[in-house]
Amino acid sequence: MAKKKRILVISLLCAGMALAQGQGPEDTPKPTIRWASSYAEGMAAAKAQNRPVLIKFSAEWCKWCERMDVEVFVDVPVIQALQRYTCIKVDVDERPDVAMAYSVRSLPRVMIINTHQEIVGDWLGYLRPDRFLEMVVDLAPALHTKMGTLMAPKAILPVPKAEPVVSVDLTEEPVMNLGHKDPKVREKAIALWIERGKEALPEILGHLEHSYLGVRIGAWKIVQKLNGSKLAFDPWAPLPKRTAMIKTLKDDLVLQP
């Protein structure tokens, strides 16, 4: 009888060890950020729950926005730090009205709004996970304190959304289509410019100064295709730096036979 009890105890121990091994760290669900389903819903929930808000402005064509998604917003310390926030993603192409209300013209852009509806954090460009976390932590004292900073917009005015049509007439609409969220529309718009040949270079160089990042990216692709210039241009660079690079590109174009 005692022998049978010992066998039973050993069996139970083995079963327990096997179960414990099956519940290792790899089986533990990783934390994630719970993004609001829409801007309006997120802002309403934050107000009802007296929570600060993080708004991430991005677009499908924005590579640095994508890098933040796969490098920053999956970082466990960052996720833990954002648990106290209501987090909202805004696609600037889907919601140009929201982007316009917050004066967003370059991406990626992250804003922090405290519980008094004040914008207490406003960061432009890619940030490494450690730097992003540092800035979030530094804002902790301002999340529930009146700081006297710029207020978040109370009303979002509607902006009519045009249908994605690419015209053969190279007017302002196809220029905007260079940065369209639909890759097929972008490719078609770029192809139309390339069909014009090098005579389009002076005009397309001007669009490297466009306020819309997507247009600058598309215009630079056209310049590279038509001119084959080895000179550098960074569509994400600040305006003064872009202006200097564009001047160099224009000078290079003039010198070419």
Tens of pLDDT, residues 193-227 = 888 888 878 888 888 888 778 888 888 888 888 87
Is pTM beyond 0.75? Reply is: no
Is there a domain that residue 54 lies in?
yes
Q: Which domain holds residue 185?
A: 172-255
- Clarify whether residues 184 and 130 are in a common domain: no
Residue 167 lies in a domain: no
Q: Is the pLDDT of residue 104 over 80?
A: yes
β-pair type (86-91, 53-58)? parallel
* Domain membership flag for residue 53: yes
Residues 50 and 134 in one domain: yes
> Does the residue 9 lie in any domain?
no
- Pair (205, 248) in one structural domain: yes
**pLDDT confidence tier of residue 183, bands split at 50, 70 and 90:** confident
Q: Token pair for residue 95?
A: 């919601």
Q: What is the pLDDT of residue 160?
A: 57
Q: How many domains does the chain have?
A: 2
* Amino acid in the structure at residue 96: P
77 within a domain of the structure (yes/no): yes
78 conformational bin, left if phi > 0, alpha if psi -120 to 50, beta if neither: alpha
138 and 51 within one domain: yes
Q: What is the model's pLDDT at position 162?
A: 46
Nearest to 42 by CA among 102, 87, 95: 87
- 249 and 197 co-located in one domain: yes
- The angle at the Cα of 241, spanning 132 to 217, to the nearest 5 degrees, equals 75
